[in-house]
Structure 1
Amino acid sequence: MTDLPHILNWRRITPRITTSGQPSARELAEIRALGVTHIINLGIHNTEGALPDEAGTVADLGMTYVHIPVDFVAPTDQDFEDFAAALAALPDTKIHVHCIYNARVSAFFYRHAQDDARAAAFDTMDSIWRPGDDWADFIGDPKAKGQPNRYAGDDY
């Protein structure tokens, strides 16, 4: 098994990095079975749909948990720097990055993408959502100013 498309908004970014919306405890075990050793969560713990003790669940599965809580309506440059540092610290590690819907995560990977990978990162983000006003500066998209967040399959 190399992918888990039944997990909400599952995407494979590279052979060692996958992303999704919030996985359940059972789905975290499936992710572990893929060889993932680190979980990075950009979601907020008290958000509807978040696991009550994700850090404990991840630890019980023998994985390392990194939490970078990103306020959905106010992502910051510091959030991005923390995310980039977490990725840089794990260059040869299988990582799964998630939030509640894979909106935050896909925007972070879009911003993180280098020139040659930018179009693919945009396509991944666009297959999940089109960030609006709160995210316009964060992703460097002035056209998103004044626009609502829109979600693939619902708004376009």
Structure 2
Amino acid sequence: MSNELCFKTAVELAGLIRAGELSARELLEVHLDQIERINPQVNAIVTLTDDLARSQASAADESQARGEPLGPLHGLPVAHKDLVATAGIRTTWGSPIYADFVPSEDALIIERLKAAGAVQVGKTNVPEFGAGSQTFNPVFGACLNPYDTSRTCGGSSGGAA
């Protein structure tokens, strides 16, 4: 599949999945390929949860095949800022103080994204504690603009950009 899917809107992708023209697993694999190609240059994804994402995408496809109700984000890959507690996934807030912290519970936003059917791809780079207009931190370093690596991607959502 083409990486063009990575540039479609969430509404377009959800429509393709609901229509059966695209599976959650296919969509995820396209995104994982794009991450593998681009992330080494831009450092946007700091914790990749590809195994978890594959499991969630497969479960999404299976639930759709059974005719179960679909959430508004059913099968859509989502990466979370590394400022949001995510159960079982390292959450550093970009700080050496929390470099190895793994929360036991999800933040409310993560609970709601899961309930809506989102597939967890990983965590994105942020300035330390989210404080800054540029995305760099002592744990993961700088995040660069994917369209021009000589420019900043800004902050505090640099990895998400």
* TM-score normalised per structure 1: 0.25
Q: Which structure would you say has the larger Rg?
A: 2
